[in-house]
Amino acid sequence: MFRVVVSPLVMGALVVAVSMLTSGSATAGWEKPPPEKPPAVVTCDFTTGGGWIIIQEEANDKANFGIVGGCKNNGFYGHANYVDHNSGQFSGLNVNGPVTAYLDPCIGGCGLQPGYRDLCGPASSNLFGPVFFRIRTRDFGEPGGDDRFGIKLVRQSDLMQVYLVPTRELGPPGSTGGGGNIQFHFPNPSNTGPNPPPDEFTACHMTDDGLGQ
């Protein structure tokens, strides 16, 4: 069950390749909304982070990211940037856009703890045109090697999945390598989201299929 954190993110056959990632990726396809579930209202917070990940599925190439997102003054705010440096068909992929939704995916529990958070929004991309992104983060404490990051993209025009990197450790000491830090921030009085909140699919234009933990 998902909870939205409130109150107080043709290439044709080529795009299918990214769905063959070995770390629990999902089959590429058109996103369809899940059965409607009423969102629950919980206290909001915010997340910041930056660093790089190793993409073993792309010959151990590297991708960099920088994010900030959360709730503020009865709405969502933030920004995300992601650059894939691999040497294959996604070489030089650059995704850049505002965070327009902030979710608690309720992995291992919901609510106020430094757990998983998903950042969603529209973005420009140099390979796929306009996309929606869904970024998954997890703050596992300092110094950050065990923190986690993953990203999923769908085209805005038809909600076709075009890119997926399942969630993985920043490491070391994480086993997947990389570097950086995800920082979960407990709320201050200004961290309030929209009420009523949007449902998951309206907020992100996709499910979290394939993002993993």
pLDDT digit string, tens, across residues 49-79:
999 999 877 777 899 999 999 999 999 999 9
Cα separations in angstroms, 62 against 3, 30, 133, 164: 31, 27, 19, 14
pLDDT over 50 (residue 14)? no
Between residues 16 and 107, the one the model is more confident about: 107
HSE-up (13 A, CA, CB side) for residue 49: 38
DSSP per residue, the chain: --EE-------GGGGGGGGG-TTTPPPP-B--PPSP-PPPP----EEEEEEEEEEGGGTTEEEEEEEEEEEETTEEEEEEEEEE--SSTTTT-EEEEE--EEEE--SSS-SSSS-EEEEEEEEEETTTSSEEEEEEEE---SSSTT-EEEEEEEETTT-BEEEEEEEEE--SSSTT--EEEEEEE---TT----SSPPPHHHHHSS--TTT--
The Cα 25–Cα 162 span in angstroms is 12
Min mean pLDDT across 106-110, 185-189, 193-197 is at 106-110
Instruction: Return the pLDDT at 173.
Output: 67
Residue reference for tokens 């996309």: 131
The Cα 9–Cα 136 span in angstroms is 9
> Which amino acid, 20?
M
Instruction: Return the pLDDT at 43.
Output: 55
* pTM attached to this predicted model: 0.80
